[in-house]
Amino acid sequence: MFSCRGSTTVSVAVIALVLLGLPLTEPYRDGKFGARVVGRIRERRLERIQQRQRALIASNEAYNDYSMDYRGDETRSASDNGTDYDMNLTTSAEELRRPPAIPPALLEALKPSSRRSMFEGKIVFRFYHGGNLTKQTTLNDNDRLLNGTECSPDERFALIVHGWRENCYEVPWVLELRENLRHHRGGCVACMDYSSFSSGGYGGLVGVFRDIRDVLLHFLLQLQYEGIQFERTYVFGFSFGAQLSLDVGNRIGGQELEAIDTCDMAGPGFDSDRAFKQMDFRNAAKNVQCIHTSIDKGTKFPNKCHQNWRMGQCGLRQAAAGPPPLGSHGLCPVFYNLAFKYQFLAQPKPPECLS
């Protein structure tokens, strides 16, 4: 009786294993099992890294002691049992290497804040590669910035920062500059679209300058953490966007960025600020070039960059100015785009132009 029960139990178990084994063998036969394991390992590894980063940011602890185990749970249990799930991954050595230390400025920019989260969720970054839009994202999206962009960390990188009442997708000078950068510079091009905040009154925009600046700083430092090289990074800003670009360049400091070019940096809301009057932008990048075309919307302090170009009548107004948006101020990015095709030769400073 006992032996019969034992034999019956064995038979049922054997049948169950055979039936369960049939579907389990299909992934092995189709070669899908290895890909699934590798995918899960990578997903778990990324989750663990992100969790560790959030914990570090919340506690503001130093990143130099970052020595966690990058293996996913599946990899650890498999190696402990003597089973090899490495699948001969060619990128395993690179993926398992210790990441570079996060700069203190990035830790500061990433501190949790409901206000900062609101700005990071509404400011959109549009990536272009080969002339095509490859990705739109915000800093609140749970993904690496370069994922899906077709941009490689070892490529040249360019960033466009528009001005008040502008955006990245329908302003003519932005579209033309994007194409000029693709043709003459190559690599990856991105545009920071903060039109959710720039479409209203100018006074309100000036009031949130620091919030938008912090998003731009976070964006650039996150790109650096993902492998983008600052020595191959170029930034262009117009008007309010010029002030954003230069301030962020100064905060990064050390002339780390390759170059910053600006067009008629905004004066209203900045010229009256004591700190701005004393500020020098030559430390914001290895080369900082500032073009001035107006006195009513541009700054009254034009000597803050390595090259300070004063267009037209001493940089105060332009003879070709028309109604907005192509007044003396709005003509600046038009001139800049034309300089990709035509030479603008420097002339000695006329006597009537003050230093």
What values do phi and psi take at 339, rounded to 5? -65, -15
pLDDT band at 92 (very low <50, low <70, confident <90, very high): very low
pLDDT tens-digit profile of 242-281? 999 999 999 999 999 999 999 999 999 999 999 898 999 9
**What single string gives the DSSP state of each residue in 47-77?**
HHHHHHHHHHHHHT--STT-----S-HHHHH
pLDDT tens-digit profile of 240-252? 999 999 999 999 9
State yes or no: pLDDT of 97 exceeds 80: no
State yes or no: pLDDT of 98 exceeds 60: no
pLDDT of residue 66: 28
Superfamily for domain range 121-340: Alpha/Beta hydrolase fold, catalytic domain (3.40.50.1820)
Q: Which carries the bigger pLDDT value, residue 74 or residue 53?
A: 53
As a whole number of angstroms, the distance between CA 354 and CA 24 comes to: 82
Pairing of strands 132-137, 307-310: unpaired
Q: Which carries the bigger pLDDT value, residue 54 or residue 321?
A: 321
State yes or no: pLDDT of 127 exceeds 80: yes
pLDDT band at 105 (very low <50, low <70, confident <90, very high): low
pLDDT of residue 112: 72
Which among 247, 280, 254 is positioned nearest to 103, based on CA atoms? Answer: 254
As a whole number of angstroms, the distance between CA 140 and CA 65 comes to: 26
State yes or no: pLDDT of 24 exceeds 80: no
- Average pLDDT in the chain: 80
Stretch 104-110: mean pLDDT, rounded? 64
Dihedral angle of Cα 271, 277, 281, 284, to the nearest 10 degrees: -90
Q: Which carries the bigger pLDDT value, residue 63 or residue 10?
A: 10
Give me the residues paired with residue 327 across strands: none
pLDDT band at 43 (very low <50, low <70, confident <90, very high): low
Decide if 198 contacts 240 (C-beta within 8 A).
yes
Give me the residues paired with residue 11 across strands: none
Query: Which helix (H) or strand (E) element contains residue 2?
Result: helix 2-30
Picking from 36-50, 56-70, 96-110, which range would have the lowest pLDDT averaged per residue?
A: 56-70
State yes or no: pLDDT of 209 exceeds 90: yes
As a whole number of angstroms, the distance between CA 332 and CA 316 comes to: 12
Say if pTM beats, i.e. exceeds, 0.75. no
Q: Where are the domains of the chain?
A: 121-340
Q: Which residue has the tokens 């948006």?
A: 325
Give me the residues paired with residue 292 across strands: 310
pLDDT of residue 111: 73
State yes or no: pLDDT of 341 exceeds 70: yes
Q: Which carries the bigger pLDDT value, residue 50 or residue 186?
A: 186
State yes or no: pLDDT of 295 exceeds 90: yes
The CA-atom distances, in angstroms, between 3 and each of 7, 11, 13, 17, 206 are: 6, 12, 15, 21, 87
Instruction: List CB contacts of 148: < 8 A, sequence separation 6 or more.
Output: 134, 135
Peptide bond preceding 325 in cis form (omega within 30 of 0): yes
Picking from 4-8, 49-53, 130-134, which range would have the lowest pLDDT averaged per residue?
A: 4-8
pLDDT band at 340 (very low <50, low <70, confident <90, very high): very high
